Structure 1
Amino acid sequence: MLLLHGGSSEGIGAVPPWSLAGARMRPFVRAVERSCAGHGLLIGSVRYRCRGWNGDREDPLRDALRALDDLALRAGDLPTVLVGHSMGGRAALRAGGHRLVRGVVGLAPWCPEGEPVTQLRSRRVVLLHGDRDRTTDPAASVDFAARAAAAGARTCTLLLPGGDHAMLRQAGSWHRQTGRIVSGLLGFAPLPSQVADRLSVNGRTE
């Protein structure tokens, strides 16, 4: 599994080692470790060169693809799930066409209008979004999932009641669901029933 933390739309400064966005992902690591215990899961984080997406530079996407290529060199064709928050969710979805990727979990992902989806054909994509998010639009996640499904992805969008962009409200639910979803996408355990059901009916939203 590769984690991709959030960032900003613009910013060429380096990401500090004490980044709050990076720290916010640590509980997700622990949740995934619990859900995948005994299966020898490798967990890594993408290191961004810059804080921001930076328009056509698409810096986080480049970093994600570089990390996947490096993983392939080190570990071979290892089935991988990408888990990304906000800007990291956008990067994860864009990198979802890489040959190692079996699934993508987007946490409150940044899904601008017209974002490409064809790279996700045959991939399983689960988007979690809080319905009180004021930074990225839950409706944009729903639209993205529907377009990805039309392009051949298997998609599921879950809206978390009361959930905010920082994933602090209902934090335990964010962590638990992500752990179970990653375990299911990697075939270590059954997917949560609401996810499994919706992956078989593209574009459905809870």
Structure 2
Amino acid sequence: MRKIDDREPAQGVPGPAARAVLSIAGAAGETRGVALVLHGGRANSYDAVRGTHLSPARMIPFARALQRGGGSDGLAVWTLRNRYRGWNGKDMSPVEDARWALSHISREHPGVPVYLLGHSMGGLTALCVADHPQVEAVAALAPWLDSSTPAGRVAGRRILIVHGTEDRWTSPANSLAYARRADGVAESVDYVALKGAGHFMFRRVGLWNSLANGFILDAFAASSGRNVDGDADAFRSLLPASGVRLPVVL
């Protein structure tokens, strides 16, 4: 596991200096794709993100599963830990950090397809940086969206949004409205409503993982031509044929 942490802290921010950290699980042999994993956070906070915080820790099993599923076939998995816990209004702190991470990916792997996976604030971040030219697919889990979230940035990308019907932290209705705005703009949009599931993915955890990781591995297989393991097949089996009206309820 390799780390990069040279992101400069913002000037004039109260509290101790904070740096973003990238943890990189490299692919075996040639890198044919990169998954970038983005964590959640708070509306407003310039507190530094620590590795022990629940938001970044929550994404570790997803990153490990992606590495197991695609690493031997050329999928590298980059996990970003933001500088700050908050979105922070117009600063959009995690968007800056994600673009910094994407710039590193572009330098190390120019032209290689990138797949974004984000939860909550990380889902919003992923959709906001989907206009990066190497991004091909975005999986947003319980994303924090509203009517101002721009749908144009996902033009030509594959999109999966998964939201629990019992989420009380972020809005399933806003996610579905976004999916409908993006439908016809993106290459494809799938919206899955998980019955009985809440925001933090404790309930129906296996299905959260099968959908998110299967979607990324399916997109990777389509781009790379590699025959990844059964996660991609499991994802395809969960969703009906294309053309079904949103949402899919599982």
Q: TM-score, normalised by structure 1?
A: 0.92
Task: Map 1:169-180 to 2 at 5 A.
Answer: 169-180=203-214
Task: Please state which structure has a larger fraction of its residues in strand.
Answer: 2
Q: 1:152 to 1:105 in 2, by over 3 A?
A: closer
1:166 aligns with 2:200: yes
Give the CA RMSD over aligned residues: 1.7
Question: SS in structure 1 opposite 2:241?
Answer: helix
Deviations 1:73-96 (A, max 9, x none): 012211111000000000000001
> C-alpha displacement at 1:21, in angstroms?
0.8
Question: SS in structure 2 opposite 1:42?
Answer: strand
Code of the aligned partner of 2:72:
G
* Residues 133 and 165, structure 1, Cα contact 8 Å, conserved in 2: yes
> C-alpha displacement at 1:40, in angstroms?
2.1
Aligned to 1:197: 241
Aligned to 2:163: 129
Q: 1:114 to 1:165 in 2, by over 3 A?
A: same
Distance in 1 separating the partners of 2:244 and 2:186: 9
* Residues 9 and 55, structure 1, Cα contact 8 Å, conserved in 2: yes
**Which has the larger Rg?**
2
Distance in 2 separating the partners of 1:64 and 1:70: 10
Aligned to 2:23: none
Q: 1:112 to 1:158 in 2, by over 3 A?
A: same
Q: Of the candidates 157, 178, 197, which is equivalent to residue 191 of structure 2?
A: 157
* Residues 156 and 203, structure 1, Cα contact 8 Å, conserved in 2: no
Q: TM-score, normalised by structure 2?
A: 0.77
Deviations 1:47-103 (A, max 9, x none): 311111111111101111110011110122111110000000000000011011000
Code of the aligned partner of 2:247:
T
Q: Of the candidates 184, 189, 193, which is equivalent to residue 218 of structure 2?
A: 184
Q: Of the candidates 8, 23, 43, which is equivalent to residue 9 of structure 1?
A: 43
Number of residue-to-residue matches in the alignment = 204
Query: What 5-or-longer segments of structure 2 have no aligned partner?
Result: 1-34, 222-227
Code of the aligned partner of 2:134:
L
Instruction: Give me the identity figure in percent.
Output: 34
Task: Please state which structure has a larger fraction of its residues in helix.
Answer: 1
